[in-house]
Chain A
Amino acid sequence: MKILFPFFAVIALVLLAVLGTAANLHFLFGVVIPYAALFIFIFGVIYRVLKWAKSPVPFCIPTTCGQQKSLPWIKQNKLENPSSTLHVIGRMALEVLTFRSLFRNIKGELRDSSKFVYGSDKWLWLGGIAFHYAFLIVLLRHIRLFAEPTPAYLYILEAFDGFLQIGIPRLFATGVVLLAAAAFLFLRRIYVPQVRYISLAADYFPLFLIMCIAATGIIMRYFFKTDIVGVKELTMGLVSFSPVIPKGVGSIFYVHLLLVSALFAYFPFSKLVHMAGVFLSPTRNMVANSREFRHVNPWNYPVKVHTYEEYEEDFREKMKMAEIPVEKE
């Protein structure tokens, strides 16, 4: 159920696009839905971030993963235990750009019911980083569809991405990597018992969606070639706010477009907001200098305490007997 429901949801989206184009609803699927999805994406993410930001950070709670700054002759680990904003920028950059914490991953196993062994386990890191960077480059490559003339850096990007020099059109590695990495993440969810046990429909849905997006993209580029001139006409129309529906663009393109729209619209309401959330995670983005500089809690309020005077009232005689100094004799 957790797997089938999202699977059929994606199939339903595919069918919807096919039927929509068959019913000549090109304007709806080519213009209205993409605009709406982008709108939801942008404002949805802003809404989410603002909502998080509205909750204050009452305490300075970085998770320290390295030596603190203490005595001058002890080497501080500035990236894992940052004591300045610059260090935090470094820590966050490592986290966001290289998935530092995931790179640390180790697998713990009980062997022979007698000893635990811990080994390096970088597969998740590898799958994750391949997935995210491939996705990023694929996205950047799509800028070609929204800019005229094509910016120069895209030629460079494409030259790298197409370094394998296979066939015509040249094979872009990232498209294949994206599909493969998403498939790996999916298989991992199914085959690793613990991960399968914790997985929700909401974990499979975006994977199916992205696999389908990558697959339709690959099909359009290498197999059933879509009318790229027509597509660019449409995309340029979208970006210049004068939408046009070109003739001759096949339904597979509309499938691709609807799935992308679904992903964009789904993004702010799902776990995919981790993209924005990671920047707001207090255990990573705070300076670990809470003894050096006072962190202020905006909702700190006075509390009832048991004062020394009350304490002495309770124990004065005993304190005097034990020759412990008291305030009132």
Chain B
Amino acid sequence: MTEITDITHPEIDTNEMILNMGPQHPSTHGVLRVALKLDGEVVTDLDCDIGYLHRGVEKICEHRNYQMIAPYFDRTDYIAAVSNGLCYVETIEKALALEIPLRAQYLRVILTELNRLSSHLLWLATHALDIGAVTVFLWAFREREELLKIFENFFGARLTCHAFRIGGMTYDAYDGFQAEVKDFCDRFPKRLEEYETLLNTNRIWLSRTVGIGIISADAAIDIGLTGPPLRGSGVEWDIRKAHPYECYADLEFDIPYGENGDTYDRYLVRMEEMRQSRRIILQALEKLPDGPIMAPKAPKVVKPSIGEYYHSIESPKGELGIYLVSDGSTQPTRLRIRPPSFINLQALRQMSIGHLVADVVAIIGTLDIVLGEIDR
């Protein structure tokens, strides 16, 4: 949060206007403040001001037991709480060298993919809303609502879902869980087609997204983009395939990737990812084995050995990683979260310069950021 006027040079050119977008703005997806330097409506420079939601999660983690830390992760990326929880418990399990029962693994995959669906649906809703397609917003929320009901039945919470424990799961699937998920998956492709009728070949949608916010594969790697933004640029890289965790290695799915690295390709990638998620869920439901949901050797007092561990998963936003430094006590020495939104947001400047104000909004939407995760 610094003076914005002196991004590159302190004196303000009279021909340029500094426009403050946020922290209260309909389409900055939370409390992001973007200072735009405008020449007419063309963005010549911009600076992101983040930190309005900084809670010091990493600091708090250093002062909590390992079990007490877990709920904090539901609140970093609150749109994809399940993925966050998964990343945390997996990191600790790997550091402890714990084997997780197969049933817990499959349940985790099902829930994480359901969460990916709900996260992508929220992205679609807000992204479309930013570009002015209000109806898609409410249609996507209709499906998200069904997912949240499943979450509520499973976790007891709709947003800050929390059912993973170090060593497995707290709750087993409730009665009718499989049927409900299956039912949802059966209905879902038709709903996706509905959104696509409204957007895919819509001329206005095309002219608002094609060629907007182009980032080449090399530039994307250089700036550290991960997740759908990286794949939209044509890099075929997904942690679920590259470094399979849980039971992803047993499941069949494809990685969609784009060619042009523009907003439209990222849109297509995410839409296809939803289809692939559904595919994963259906397979996992079919293969879901019986058995225990907690590892029998799961320790009551979690104390990883002295050392360090880095583990990352493919969260809906990108690579969510945790770097754990343990001194052998019940509290971590350092628990670093690698927030995908934070690093993806950094590309905003590079992607928006030369575009119009309206495109900045579209690009913020296509990066799919969550301020809770950026600010931590």
* Pairing of A with B: no
Query: Which B residues are closer than 8 A to A by beta carbons?
Result: none
